Amino acid sequence: MTRAGTLFGISLGPGDPGLITRRAWALLERRDAIWTYPVRSLRKDSYALDIALRAGLPLPERHQSLLFPMTHDAEKLARHWLKAAETVRELLASGQDVLFLVEGDASTYASFCYLARVLRELDGDARIEIVPGVTSFNAACARLQVPLSEQDDTIAIVPAAYGIAAVEKMLDHFDTLVLMKVKPLLDDLISLLERRGLLAHSRFIEKAGSPLERVVTDVAQLKGTPVNYLSLLLVKNPGRERGELQRGCRKKTSTEIEEEETQT
């Protein structure tokens, strides 16, 4: 009986091939593994595959795209996740390892998370390994020379789709906000940051590390302009009210205490 292969989530970093880890590189150099990679539609190329090819890695003989459409339709998403997982399960059953290419880090807002979860539901014995990588926000901080955190700073990493009200509430509790996938709400976010006096402490970066990277330090100028889906806002919040340190951790602020009392 043929032993099933292993599914590897191969993190490639956000766009610069130089950020591919040695572990990921070694796996990608194997000629006996099957490459799979996500596409948003059958008419679009895979950004993850592009990173690997720009690194000079040769495309193996066996490779296959998997469709992960851009939609909020839960039923449609579930169908495509299931189809992708069934495809991967069949490939693994042949005894070969499958490498799923992921831009950024495979455990951070990545399509690999859905693929791995559904595969486990189909086959509880499936062997899965995640190869960690550089996230877009870590690469953005390095590019901008802005620390993600210092000392006891608090950090929130949030998809902007949660909405303006949620982002505004987080500004009361976090020293650094990383707002992911800001395209749909960018104008509203700029208005919020302007009202809170944080535009000067905000930076925008699109396709970090790729040849199409765009960095904007004057975020206000982006209002009314189109941006790419793979973009983020890094917001520093230097005026946030902080509690006193207690055994290395900060006490809750009066605002946080009042909110907890309201909720109870």
On the 0-12 / 13-18 / 19+ scale of CB atoms within 10 A, 182 is buried
Q: What is residue 73's predicted lDDT score, i.e. its pLDDT?
A: 84
**Domain assignment present for 249:** no
Using the CB atoms, write b or e for 68-79: b if 16+ within 10 Å. beeeeeeeeeee
pTM, entire model: 0.86
Helix axes 186-195, 164-171, angle to 10 degrees: 30
Q: Does one domain contain both 53 and 112?
A: yes
**Domain assignment present for 171:** yes
> CATH number of the domain that 38 lies in?
3.40.1010.10
Of 121 and 251, which is predicted with more confidence?
A: 121
Do residues 232 and 140 make contact, with C-beta atoms less than 8 angstroms apart? yes
- Chosen domain end from 91, 109, 134: 134
Looking at the predicted structure, is the pLDDT value of residue 83 above 90?
yes
- pLDDT tens, residue by residue, 207-264: 998 999 999 999 999 999 999 999 999 999 998 877 676 655 666 665 555 666 566 5
Is beta strand 34-39 parallel, antiparallel or unpaired with respect to 245-246?
unpaired
Q: Does one domain contain both 240 and 130?
A: no
Do residues 173 and 155 make contact, with C-beta atoms less than 8 angstroms apart? no
- pLDDT tens, residue by residue, 4-37: 999 999 999 999 999 999 999 999 999 999 999 9
Q: Does one domain contain both 188 and 229?
A: yes
Range of the domain at 88: 6-134
- pLDDT tens, residue by residue, 123-180: 999 999 999 999 999 999 999 999 999 888 899 999 988 899 999 999 999 999 999 9
